[in-house]
Structure 1
Amino acid sequence: MPDEEKAKWENSIAGAVAGFSTVAVLHPLDVVRTRFQVSDGRGCSCPLYKNTAHAIYSIARTEGLKGLYAGFYTSVFGSTVSWGLYFFFYSRAKDRYVRYSNQPLSPGHHLASAAEAGALVCLITNPIWLVKTRLQLQTPLHPSRPYIGFSDAVKTILKEEGWKALYKGIGPGLLLVSHAAIQFCAYEELRKIAIKLKGRGERTASRDPDRLLNSFDYATLGGASKITAILLTYPYQVIRARIQQRPTSSGMPKYMDSWHVVTETARFEGIRGFYRGITSNLLKNVPAASITFVVYENILKLFKAAQSKKEK
């Protein structure tokens, strides 16, 4: 296998392992975030929670560990696939821009690479995330027969709503491409700054700048880039979660489309409605981004070390 092609697969494997590690540790906060996002106080089948701690306590008390890990396997599958595909497409896009420009990549190139990768991943994985959202929203209050698992959910959705239902929320999902693009662009630029600052007076910096950064650096850079992206794009996540809710027992969806979500949320809840669940989202995703980039960068280092040893 050519070295260039091998590097792309190494990026993909590193991304997949990073995604799995993140979900396994922080899934309960994802359940809480999803329930907050759809809790508009108007006929929602989810209980109303005071805050993140109260939500975790209430779910554990009424639904047990199963409630806190609702949709876990679907989330693991989706995150592993998404991160693996994302890093694969992202590295391919960056390589293409490098070949065409023959110059170091600019922030615009990183932004374009991240946007391209995000759009492709969104189109491939939207059905997985729709099922995950619905599994996380299942509570004893919901009148419909609960989905038993991922495959049962897909079969039931296809039977009751048709294949188009699997792509509900694709519009906000594609808009969320900007989230990943902002995150990766911020990460790459912060990474350059960190290397430059730590590389002053280091003779090895020009030969192998990655050796200057450690796991703490990757965690800090990953967390900082994630905060930036969340603050700028969070309303898209709320819109997507609300439109992906399961229809009522009569078959009527609560929201007809994304614009309906926007108008109803603005009318009844104001700007705060678009930021429901942001606390649990930050608590989950900032550490998640840190874990993801630490795992990703260190796995890449292992691949490079193995390749270097092999060449000797």
Structure 2
Amino acid sequence: MSTEAPKRDQWQWENATAGAAAGFATVAVMHPLDVVRTRFQVNDGRVSHLPIYKNTAHAVFAIARSEGLRGLYAGFLPGVLGSTISWGLYFFFYDRAKQRYARNREEKLSPGLHLASAAEAGALVSFFTNPVWLVKTRLQLQTPLHQTRPYSGVYDAFRTIMREEGFSALYRGIVPGLFLQVSHGAIQFTAYEELRKVIVDFKSKGSTVHNQNPDKLLNSVDYAVLGATSKLAAVLLTYPFQVIRARLQQRPSGDGVPRYMDTLHVVKETARFEGIRGFYKGITANLLKNAPASSITFIVYENVLKLLKPARRND
């Protein structure tokens, strides 16, 4: 009896495990910048319960001074949970899609198929994780200036949202979230895979390792460069979706009416009052967070995967 299917399933779970470990490490290190980014994104300068920050550095020091470490790590638990689940599921679905597309193909996957694999994974992950990201956003936006009763924690946030706004509120921002997950992941992973091929081909010239295992040619510095470069491309092209989603996921005011009704409303209002700059609010904090964060993610992911590969070969 063939053991190909069990081995394939095991390999997919190894990718999921490596992705989850990478996601946890990323959030643990970079979360304060995520808080700053979210507060910049939703502050439209008109109706806001948030303090005014001059720049990223000022925001970090102001939050630390007025809210302490707790403020800098607001929403940390759903951030860790969401990122760990997201990366775990993303790598799992991404690897499954690549394997499906690779069947009956002798050549390597084309950039188009890498793009399709990443887009498919992003869409699936978005449906699973949107409620977690909504709660994270709500907790990150709570400040001493907040006018409504604050959520006491993750469970209280879920319970209060369900009671006050209904189940559908957990999926506010799902439309820009889908566009974000599909486009961002597709761009990032396609860029990563193609740049990875370039580095492997460059390093393999004159090397005897290439034909046996090209992964041995790459080290943590290579993974860091690949992760940061591919993330930079994805962030610059997809950032407006993050702003739109964050604004939709804000907590309604005391009268229960959301600040923005839907995606089109956010786009119209932001373009009208803030122009193109409004769609890129918080991008400095985002780049400071995501460039090194993506490096950490791929360093952890690739190295955890290498640790798991010997176990797979010995089974």
Answer whether TM exceeds 0.5 for this pair: yes
1:17 aligns with 2:21: yes
Q: For 1:91-140, what per-residue CA distance to the aligned partner results, in whole angstroms no more than 9, with x for missing partners?
A: 00000000154431000010000000000000011000000000000011
Q: CA deviation at 1:306?
A: 3.2
Residue in 2 that maps onto 1:43: 47
State which of 230, 238, 252 in structure 2 corresponds to 1:233: 238
Q: Counterpart of 1:277?
A: 282
**Which residue of structure 1 lines up, in the alignment, with residue 163 of structure 2?**
159
Match among 112, 116, 132 for residue 136 of structure 2: 132
Match of residue 85 from structure 1: 89
Match of 2:183 among 178, 186, 201: 178
- One-letter identity of the residue aligned with 1:196: D
The residue aligned with 1:62 is 66
Quote the Cα distance in structure 1 between the aligned partners of 2:143 and 2:312. 50
Equivalent position of 1:300 in the other structure = 305
Deviation sequence 1:269-297 (CA, Å, 0-9, x none): 11000000000000001111000000000
CA distance in 1, matches of 2:105, 2:146: 55
Displacement of 1:205 after TM fit?
Answer: 0.5
Q: Does 1:119 align with 2:119?
A: no
Q: Which moved more, 1:101-110 or 1:182-191?
A: 101-110
Q: How much does 1:207 deviate? A: 1.1
Kept in 1: contact 2:11–2:312 (CA 8 A): no
TM-score by length of 2: 0.97
Task: Give the whole-Å Cα distance in 2 for the aligned partners of 1:53 and 1:122.
Answer: 31
TM-superposed CA distance for 1:305, in Å, is 2.7
Matched pairs, number: 310
Residue ranges of structure 1 left out of the alignment (5+ in a row):
none
Q: What is the Cα deviation at residue 304 of structure 1?
A: 1.3
The equivalent residue for 1:267 is 272
Instruction: Map Cα deviations across residues 171-192 of structure 1 (whole Å, 9 max, x no partner).
Output: 0001112001100000000000
Q: Structure 1 stretches (4+) deviating beyond 6 angstroms?
A: none
1:36-66 superposed Cα distances (whole Å, 9 cap, x missing partner): 0001111111111000000000000000100
Pick the aligned partner of 1:244 from 219, 243, 249: 249
2:185 maps to amino acid: A
- Residue 221 of structure 1 aligns to which amino acid in structure 2? L
Q: Letter of the 2:281 partner, please give it.
A: R
Task: Tell me the distance in 2 between the aligned counterparts of 1:262 and 1:15.
Answer: 33
Amino acid at match of 1:242: R
**1:244-283 per-position Cα deviation (integer Å, ceiling 9, x unaligned):** 0000011111111111111111111110000000000000
Q: Which moved more, 1:13-22 or 1:197-206?
A: 197-206
User: What's the C-alpha RMSD, in Å, of the aligned pairs?
Assistant: 1.0
Aligned residue for 1:213? 218
TM-score by length of 1: 0.98
CA distance in 1 between counterparts of 2:97 and 2:251 reads 36
Question: d(CA) in 2 for partners of 1:210 and 1:57?
Answer: 42
1:73 to 77, 99, 106: 77
Kept after mapping to 1: 8 A contact 2:12/2:96: yes
Distance 1:187 1:171 in 2: 25
